[in-house]
Amino acid sequence: MSKRGWFLFISLGIIWGTPYLFIRIAVEDFSPAIVVFGRVMIATLLLLPIAIHRGHASSLKTHWKGILAFAIIEMCLPFGALAVAEKEISSSLTGLLVAAVPIVNAIISRQIGLDSNWDARRIFGLLIGITGVGLLVGFDISAANYWAIAICFIAVLGYALGPIIITKLLSDVESIGVISWSLLVAGLIYLPLVIRDIVNNSWRAPGVSEISTGAIASIIALGVLCSAIAFVVLFDLIDEVGPTRTTVITYINPAVAIILGVVLLSEPLTLGIMVGFPVVLIGSVMATRKNTQPKEVIASAER
C-alpha cells in the first residue's frame, strides 16, 4: 500500500471508530430517526454546494440507480440500525460487532467474482472470525437484547455491500457528487419518519424533557466528521486500494470504539470484548488476506 493509502486507511479507521460514541450520546435524548436525519442533512448542506460549484451535480442524472442503492444500503439501513441498537447495547460492543464487516465483504466479493482467489487459510480465517463474533454475543448478550444484535448485523451487511456498490456502479463518477446526492436521498427517505416523530411528540427519547448540549454536539459531529469527511475519505481509499481491503479499516474501528466507550462513557471492559475481539481480528485478517503466491505456483500445487 502507498503512503497515501496508509494515510487514508488510518484516518478513516480512526474517524469511523467514533460514530458509536456519538450515536450512543445522541440517542439518549433524540429518537433514532432524528439522529439519522440530522446526521445526513448536515453532511448534505456541507457537501452538496461544493459538488454543484465544481460541476459534479449531474451524477444524479447519470448514476441515479447507484446513488439510490448506495444511499439505502450504506446510509439508511446501517445508520438507522445502529441508532436503534445502541439504545439497548453499549457503543463499544456495537463497534466490535461491526468488525465482522470484512468477513461478510469477503464472502460477497467471492460470490460475485470480485475476489475469487480463496484458499484453505482464508476459509479457516472465516470460521475463526465467525467464532469470535459468537464469543462476543455469548459472553455479553442476554436473551432480552438479542434483537439488538440482529439489528447490528443489518448494519454489518450494509457496510460490507457499500464498497462493492461503489466499485460496481459508481467508480466512474466524481465521488463528491455521489456522496452529496446519496446523503440527500437518505435524508428524504427518513423525512417521513421524522415528521411522524414530531407529530406524535416522540422525537425525544422517553422521559427526556430537556435536550443536552452533548446530544446536539454529537449529531453535528456525526454529520461533519463521521459522514461528510468520512465518505470523501472512503471513496478516495476505495480508489486507492479496492473495496475488500478498504473494509479492513474495521480492524481499527473496534479498538477506537472500545477506548472511547470505556474512557468517556464508563462502559465495562467485558470478558466478551477481551476474548471475542482478538478472535474476530485474527479471523478477519486471515479471511481478507489474499494469497501472494504466483499463479503458476498455485496451479502447480493444485496439480
Delimit the domains of the chain by residue range.
11-292
- Determine the pLDDT at residue 142: 54
The region of weakest confidence among 61-75, 157-171, 257-271 is: 257-271
Specify which residues 30 forms β-bridges with.
204
CA–CA gap between residue 233 and residue 236 (Å, rounded):
5
Q: Is the distance from CB of 257 to CB of 17 less than 8 angstroms?
A: yes
Measured from the Cβ of residue 288, the count of other Cβ atoms closer than 10 Å reads 24
| pLDDT averaged over every residue in the chain | 82
- Express as a percent the part of the chain with pLDDT over 90: 36
CA–CA gap between residue 80 and residue 151 (Å, rounded):
9
Measured from the Cβ of residue 60, the count of other Cβ atoms closer than 10 Å reads 19
- Determine the pLDDT at residue 54: 83
Residue 229's pLDDT band (cuts 50, 70, 90): very high
Span 108-137, pLDDT tens digits: 877 777 666 666 776 777 777 777 766 665
**Which one is predicted more confidently, 140 or 131?**
131
Q: Is the distance from CB of 261 to CB of 21 less than 8 angstroms?
A: yes
Mean pLDDT across the stretch 261-284? 77
Mean pLDDT across the stretch 162-190? 90
Q: Is the distance from CB of 21 to CB of 263 less than 8 angstroms?
A: no
CA–CA gap between residue 197 and residue 193 (Å, rounded):
6
**Which one is predicted more confidently, 291 or 297?**
291
Q: Is 30 in a helix, a strand, or coil? A: strand
State the angle between helix axes of 32-53 and 77-85 in degrees (0 to 180), rounded to the nearest 10. Answer: 150
What is this structure's pTM? Answer: 0.80
Mean pLDDT across the stretch 239-258? 71
**Which one is predicted more confidently, 12 or 24?**
24
